Amino acid sequence: MKLLITGGAGFIGSAVVRYIIGNTDAEVVNLDKLTYAGNLESLAEVSGSERYAFEQVDICNRAEVDRVLVQHQPDAIMHLAAESHVDRSIDGPAAFIETNIVGTYTLLEATRHYWQALEGERKTNFRFHHISTDEVYGDLEGTDDLFTETTPYAPSSPYSASKASSDHLVRAWQRTYGLPVLITNCSNNYGPYHFPEKLIPLVILNALEGKPLPIYGKGDQIRDWLYVADHARALYTVVTKGKPGETYNIGGHNEKQNIEVVHTLCDTLQELRPQAMPYRELITTVKDRPGHDKRYAIDASKIEKELGWVPQETFETGIRKTVQWCLDNLDWCQRVQDGSYQRERLGSGE
Ligand code: NAD
């Protein structure tokens, strides 16, 4: 099996590439534009494999996407490429509209033409797997409600609205053209190789440097956290076993207030890298994000019942692994923070 993975140099995409090369016989073509969020250093352990190829391509570039499809002849596409950071979508929504909506449309059209030209089993077994977020559902008022696959869409930020739009496009390409699609909507991920603008790596690295740990408002926003390697395994399960036309929600059963997450990180750091002043004393509050969703929580029972996937990490084990990974890989973190991961690839002509 050959899989084309878009966004394979990003946080989740690189975990998917590492999982597939490390645990299956499948071949992987990683198609990535290498925006600020794309980092080939996250793929160092697999980039030497004969089953791995990289194409630096923008999903908005139809001619280049067509070329990659014809040249590599994938059996399935896993579409993760996106602009993914909510705060950046508030400061500058244009890139989110361009990549998440126009880029997904361009990829769908290129895929439709490629798929229509396939024959026999290759055509029947082809899959287009769109990777989306639970943020398309908006937020939950009550404390017991959960997002299911039939929860109506109510996105709040330019990011989640652009992802919701791309989900609608993918469903329309299935209903209208019969393209065999799968959609997954996942909760917040955390784990190794996470870009340090996101809450968990930001808190770990700031704490290690003795800098303030910023918390939006009261820190009472609730998110459902999933360890990234569990997500990668779920995505491979869906692309190989999922039923075309179906949506699967993916979550970790780990609903935590942001402040609880930061406390857990501080306490884990205190244990693994003890210091005289408790890390918790670095916590400071900052003005809340506009339109900030209060609570997300996923009902992941469908993927569990139908495809047999369950997360392997609890929040405690996953956080411990993540903190330990940061402590063991401070050079990776440092090179992202000082921008050298980007400067060197520009210097090498990539
Ligand atoms: P990320 O920002 O870390 O990585 C995105 C990747 O896409 C980068 O490698 C970037 O270079 C690439 N990319 C961006 N624009 C591109 C373009 N125009 N053409 C080709 N490549 C492009 O994102 P992530 O956190 O790994 O998220 C991956 C996917 O999973 C996204 O679709 C996101 O919406 C979804 N998702 C993320 C989370 C989360 O917690 N991070 C949760 C649920 C769903």
pLDDT digits (tens, 9 = 90+) for 182-202: 999 999 999 999 998 889 999
Q: Which of the residues 32, 41, 55, 135 is marked catalytic?
A: 135
Give yes or no for residue 11 CB within 6 A of ligand 1: yes
Q: Hey, where are the domains in the chain?
A: 2-347
Give yes or no for residue 114 CB within 6 A of ligand 1: no
Q: Any residues with CB less than 8 A from the CB of 119 and at least 6 apart, and which? A: none
Catalytic status, residue 134: yes
Asked if the model's pLDDT at residue 287 lies above 60, the reply is yes
CA of 342 to the centre of ligand 1 (A): 17
Give yes or no for residue 311 CB within 6 A of ligand 1: no
Q: Any residues with CB less than 8 A from the CB of 343 and at least 6 apart, and which? A: none
**pLDDT score of 291:** 78
Catalytic status, residue 159: yes
How many C-beta neighbours within 10 Å does residue 305 have?
9
Kind plus residue range of the DSSP H or E element containing 316: helix 315-328
Strand partners, 193: none
pLDDT band at 345 (very low <50, low <70, confident <90, very high): low
Catalytic status, residue 255: no
**pLDDT score of 349:** 44
Contact (CB, 8 A) for 89 and 41: no
Contact (CB, 8 A) for 15 and 231: yes
- For 235-257, the pLDDT digits (tens) are 999 999 999 999 999 999 899 99
Chain-wide mean pLDDT for the chain? 95
CA atoms within 13 A on the CB side of 128: 28
Nearest atom of ligand 1 to the alpha carbon of 12: 26
What CATH number does the domain located at 2-347 have?
3.40.50.720
**pLDDT score of 350:** 44
- For 139-148, the pLDDT digits (tens) are 887 777 899 9
Predicted structure pTM score: 0.96
CA of 249 to the centre of ligand 1 (A): 17
Q: Which of the residues 134, 167, 255, 313 is marked catalytic?
A: 134
pLDDT band at 347 (very low <50, low <70, confident <90, very high): low
